[in-house]
Amino acid sequence: MTTIREFHKKSIDNPDAFWGEEAKLVDWHKPFSQVLDFSRPPFAKWFVGGETNLCYNAVDRHAEKRPNDRALVFISTETDQEVVYTFAELKAEVMRMAAIMQNLGVSKGDRVLLYMPMVAEAAFAMLACARIGAIHSVVFGGFASGSLATRIDDAEPVLIVSSDAGMRGGKAVPYKGLLDEAISLAEKKPAKVLMIDRGIDKGFNKVAGRDVDYASERAKVMDADVPVTWLESSDPSYILYTSGTTGKPKGVQRDTGGYAVALTSSIKHIFCGEAGETFFATSDIGWVVGHSYIVYGPLLAGMATIMYEGTPLRPDPGIWWQIVEKYKVSVMFSAPTAARVLKKHDTAYMHKYDLSSLRHLFLAGEPLDQPTHEWLMGELGLPVIDNYWQTETGWPMLSAMPGVEKTEIRFGTPSFPVYGYNLKIFREDGTICDPDEKGIVGILPPLPPGCLSTVWGDDDRFVSTYFTLFNEPQVYSSFDWGIADKDGYHYILGRTDDVINVAGHRLGTREIEEAIQGHAAIAEVAVVGVADKLKGQMPMAFAVVKNADSIATPELAAALEKEVMKKVDSSLGAIARPSHVHFISVLPKTRSGKLLRRTIQALAEGRDPGDLTTIEDPKALEQLQKALSAAQG
């Protein structure tokens, strides 16, 4: 049996042979003439000359062989809807959406911006764009008008597809007003807006001559038969703007053929999914996980995929496990934050349902702390696999790969470099770190298939942002600190720009969070560096406790704060001790579960936090401000 090390070595030593073999997992309309063109470093072109189509590989080829198998399962616990689409039905809906787009003037190479809730029509729209060779750009639903406007100006879409509203936690999140304002702010206004009216926001305004009703247009094209537009492998498939960008947005540009091969390969070797099975990723299409492992990856591999609108707690904390049982989910993908949310609730919800179909649970989005990893794996009794990647890479950089070799799962680590990634830990002078030596996680190019091919419209920015960490060698910088141990297991320690400089000492926020998380009373924590006149910066912690009674009085809260400080002292030394530990009941996060550390830092320093519309729970912001005010008062 091939080991992970051998598999990885082959991918690095002979990428042409390795990826030429993996490319057989997808269908090619025209064979490629060259596996890799790396004649213009750091730009890499994969499967040169080959023609294929993401929609064909994700939908048509399965519809031909297994038309009645489940393809897309839309579940909304917000609107109490549940709709199952077979591959044949999905193909029909995608062709209807494609026909509508063509009727509205969309053609190959045009951009279509999606500002959508987690509804089936969002998947139809993404796949329809892929079908006709249009380039989609999904912007997270509910994003602020100003931020949306900058993305409209950068992508210059001819069409925007949107909805009246989304739903979250039983509350409507109106989109149309935000969209109208964004278009009014944008200089490059779209010709048309295709509106999906869910009947949630009864009073949204329709702009005459621009806004078009989806249901009406769909009724005209029920028998649509839209042929596939074959694309050269390097033709762009989509643009996805990275979260947290300031100023001019940074659009990650993805290719077509490389992405198709990488995702299909990852389902086989990393996620161990099989055609006919069901994949459940709990993310949102506004983020890269939603692109790669809700819409494209599972369908490319012939799996059914679940598209879920709702929270992990509505109607109760057992809802995700109920879905696993009902649809016999074999692979599940979520985020560490979601696991920590569930950790605060009765574990009886996890054991109420038959989870025997579930073989693996994968987590990504931010580092998975050891206590949560250990708890989740113990409760589920199955492998819980942390993996590490970025919007830019499109698929995992570090992960266990049970489809290649079953290796020991160690808590708190995303394991090994994934095949195709020549990943190393670098010192700041460009040399490679020794085992257990902290450095910057980087990749020696070429980047493997599936990674960003450039920054949309700005090749110079692609190079200057990602490949100028060192003069020599040329390295893709992840902007994350990491450590690799002697056994090859990797640990992510947080962003390089989240480093706190305390009196000349460099401390990673991730390390302090790990220490605090080790206290039995703490469920979640975020640590940020806050400006300090004396020491430059000081760490400040915001923690969620497991039991509110433990901080029921100011005296109890003060006692717990001291205990947490001692925990940090014993783990990292007094230099890492936070200036304050603020106790709040919820941390500010995006809907996909990412902690908004920069927002926390800005508020802690009394600065403008910028766009706050991505915060899932407004109470988090109120509590943060209240805690900071109380400390200052």
CATH code at 589?
3.30.300.30
**Enclosing domain of residue 521:** 503-632
Q: CA angle, 395 as apex, 360 and 321 as ends, to 5°?
A: 30
Q: What is the pLDDT of residues 207-254, one digit of tens each?
A: 999 999 999 999 999 999 999 999 999 999 999 998 543 457 789 999
pTM of the model: 0.86
Q: Residue 492 domain-assigned? A: no
pLDDT at residue 537, rounded to an integer: 82
Which of 480, 514, 544 delimits the end of a domain? Answer: 480
Residue 83, helix vs strand vs coil: strand
Tell whether 493 is covered by a domain: no
- Does a structural domain hold residue 485? no
103 in Cβ contact with 85 (< 8 Å): no
Does residue 470 share a domain with residue 530? no
In a domain, 622, yes or no: yes
From 433, 449, 480, give the residue that closes a domain: 480
Distance CA 423, CA 400 (A): 14
- What is the strand order of the sheet 384-386 is part of? 81-86, 70-76, 304-309, 278-281, 329-334, 360-363, 384-386
pLDDT tens digits, 146-175? 888 989 999 999 999 999 999 988 889 899
Q: pLDDT tens for residues 377-405?
A: 999 999 999 999 999 999 999 999 999 99
Same domain (yes/no): 178, 71: yes
Structural domains counted in the chain? 2
Distances (CA, A) of 465 to 299, 399, 476, 589: 32, 25, 9, 26
Residue 262 near residue 291, CB atoms below 8 Å: no
Domain boundary among 480, 511, 542: 480
Q: Tell me whether residue 494 is in a domain.
A: no
195 and 237 housed in the same domain:
yes
CATH code at position 472: 3.40.50.12780
Which residues of the chain fall below pLDDT 70?
142, 243-247, 497-499, 501, 503-506, 534, 591-592, 611, 613-614, 632-633
Same domain, 512 and 441: no
Same domain as 562, residue 426: no
In this structure, the answer to whether residues 256 and 293 fall within a common structural domain is yes
Rounded Cα distance between 607 and 246, Å, is 15
